[in-house]
Amino acid sequence: MLLYSYKKYILIRKNLSKIKQKIYIEKELNLEKCFKLYNGEDIIEMNIVKNVNKDKTAHVCQLPVKLVDIFVKASSNKNDIVFDPFMGSGTVAFSAKKKQKKIYWF
């Protein structure tokens, strides 16, 4: 029996006509390969950032860089400004700098 755990992330933008795609993340609990399509929507397989992950920082709610890269790419263009009002572990700033974007945070 396969058990799945799904997390849906919703990307919110001011101009909804520019959203490139809906993004769904699937993590399979039995560690088998994930399906790439589910109900016609895109599903992206990635590891979550836990204590055993080499990318883990001291932040308790750290997001995977791969996930943030997708959000930054889908919601902005080169040289755009990315605003992160909560900063947290700095994943958004790291991703924005990689993509040559300006970043502002609190």
| Whole-number pLDDT of residue 61 | 73
According to DSSP, the β-strands at 102-105 and 81-84 are: parallel
| Whole-number pLDDT of residue 14 | 54
- b/e map 46-56, b = 16+ CB within 10 Å: eeebeeeeeee
3-class SS at 7? strand
| Whole-number pLDDT of residue 43 | 57
Kindly report whether the global pTM for this prediction surpasses the value 0.85. Answer: no
All structural domains of the chain with their residue ranges? 1-10+22-45, 48-106
Residues of the chain predicted below pLDDT 50: 1, 16, 19-41
Q: What's the mean per-residue pLDDT of the chain? A: 65
Give residue 15's identity as a one-letter amino acid code: N
| Whole-number pLDDT of residue 25 | 41
